[in-house]
Amino acid sequence: MGNSKTIVIISPNMIVDIDYTTKSTSRFVPEGLLYLATPLLVAGYDVRICDMAKDDLNSFEADVFGITGLPNQFNQIKEAIGIIRRNQPDAKIILGGPFVACAIDWFTDLLDFDLAIFGEAESIIASAVNEALKVSGKKIIKAEPLTAITDLYRPAFELIDLEWYLNGWHRIFNYPLARPTINNLMISRGCPKSCNFCRQPFGKKIKLLPHDNIDFILESYAKAGAKSIRFQDDNWQYLPTETRRHVLKKLADLGLQTAFNSRVDDFSSEFLKEVTQHNVIKQISFGVESISQKSLKAMNKGTSADQIRRVIDLCRNYNIEPAFFIMVGAPGETKNSIDTIIRLIENEKVFPLFTFFLPIPSTMYWHDFLKHHSVADAFSMFDGWDKNQIAEKKIYYNITNASDTELIDYYSQLKKLQDKFKKKG
C-alpha cells in the first residue's frame, strides 16, 4: 500500500566520549529508530533517519518528524523541535523513547509537540503517525507494553550508513576489543531488579529478540566490517541459557569478539565456564556503583562489597577483563568508601567507567532534586552534567557524607586511572 507522506525520525546528538586531540567522537547506531522505521516502511511511508551526530536537520523535509531521546538530552530535543518549527511550521512532531517514558509528567508544558507516545511504540507507530496528522493541540497516547519482542520487525539497516558508525573514535572502554567496534546492541528488554536510582522503561520481565533476528543483526554488522560488538543489555546472566549459547556460537562463527554487562550477584564460575566456551568474550562490565554497603543498601542495589571483589578474580581466572560502572556521589558515600574503591581499582587494574550521580526523572531522587530546582532548570542542568560540575567545582546534587571537593577529587582520580588504559586500546 503506497503512502505519499514522508516521516523523518531523529536521534539527537549524543556525545558519550570524545578524543579532544582529533575531536573524533564515539558513534552509536540509532538502534531503536531502526526498529520503528520498518513498520512505517511496511505501511508505505517514505522514511528517513536523521542522526544529529552527523546530519544537518535543516536539510530534512517531512510531513511528520519523530524525535527520541534520553532524559539527559532535553536541550537537544528542544533544539530539534525549534529547527523543525522554524523551517516547517506545519509539520507534525511526535516524541517518544526513554525521555517520554521517564518524564511524561514533567515535560508537556516545556516542549512544543503534537503527539507523545508513552511506552514501546513499535506496535502502534504507524497508527500514531496517522493520529498525529489529524491531531490539534498536544496529545499523549499510551502504547501497551509488549508481552514479547519476538514480533518486532528486523531493523531497517538500509536507511543508514553502517560503515560510518564503525569509523568513530575507538573508546578507551573498548581497549580489550578488536577494531572496529559496534558500541551498542540490545537483544533483550527488561530487568528483574529494583534499584531505586533507575527508571526501567521496559519493565521487569525480560523479553528477547528471536534468534533469526539476532542472526540477521550480527551478520549485518559483520558484513559492514565490524570486528567486535558491545552488548548493552542490562544483565547477560539473566538471558536464557539457550539464547546465550546461540549468540556466542554465532559470534564465533562470524569471527566477532564481544563484551557485555552483568551484575556482581548471581555471578559464578559456572556461568563463566558456560559463556567462555567459544573464546569470544573479552570484557564484562559490572554495575558496581559504590563499594559502600550503606550506599548499596540506600540504592536498593542488592549487592555487597564482597561480591564486588569476588568478580575480579572470577573474570581474571577466565582471561576476561572486568570493568566497573561507578556512580560518583552515590547516596551515603563517605571519604573512606571513596578511598577504598580507588585503592581496589588501582591495585586490581580494573577499568572504571563513571559519572556523577544523576537524579533520573520519576525516581525518588528526582522528586528530591525538584525541591531545589524548577523542572526546566533541572532538565537543562542534565546537559553537560559531568563537564559543568567539574568546571564549576560544584556538585549539583550531593546526597553523600563527602564534600563537593572530595567528590570532584574522586572523579579526577577515576579519570587518571582510566587514562592508564589508553595505551592498551
Question: Tens digits of per-residue pLDDT, 11-34?
Answer: 998 766 666 566 667 899 999 999
Grade residue 182 by pLDDT with cuts at 50, 70 and 90: very high
Domain extents in the chain: 6-142, 170-419
CA–CA separation, 130 and 358 (whole Å) = 36
Given the candidates 3.40.50.2300, 3.90.79.10, 3.40.50.300, 3.40.50.10090, the CATH classification of the domain at 6-142 is 3.40.50.2300
Residue 104 clears pLDDT 50, i.e. is over it: yes
Contact 322, 313 (CB under 8 A): no
| Pairing relationship of beta strands 181-185 and 188-189 according to DSSP bridges | unpaired
405 or 22, which is more confident: 405
Q: Which helix (DSSP H) or strand (DSSP E) does residue 31 occupy?
A: helix 31-42
Segment 242-267 shows an average pLDDT of: 97
What percentage of the chain has pLDDT greater than the value 70?
96
> Residue 18's pLDDT is what?
61
What is the per-residue pLDDT across 108-136, written as a single tens digit (0 to 9) for each? 999 999 999 999 898 899 999 999 999 99
Q: Which three cell numbers stand for residue 208?
A: 528477547
pLDDT of 202: 79
> Do the beta carbons of residue 11 and residue 52 sit within 8 Å?
yes
| Cβ 303 vs Cβ 296: under 8 Å | yes
The pLDDT tens digits for 259-311 are 999 999 989 999 999 999 999 999 999 999 999 999 999 999 999 999 999 99
pLDDT of residue 265: 94
* Whole-angstrom distance, CA of residue 390 vs CA of residue 404: 10
What the block records as the C-alpha cell of 28 is 552509536
Query: 157: number of CA atoms within 13 Å, CB side?
Result: 15
Maximum Cα interatomic distance, the chain, rounded to a whole number of Å: 65
Mean pLDDT of the chain: 93
Task: Please determine whether the domains at 6-142 and 170-419 fall in the same fold group of CATH.
Answer: no
The answer on pLDDT for 147 being more than 90 is: no
Count of H-run helices and E-run strands, the chain = 15, 16
Cell for 141? Answer: 497516547
Domain 170-419 has CATH 3.40.1170.60: no
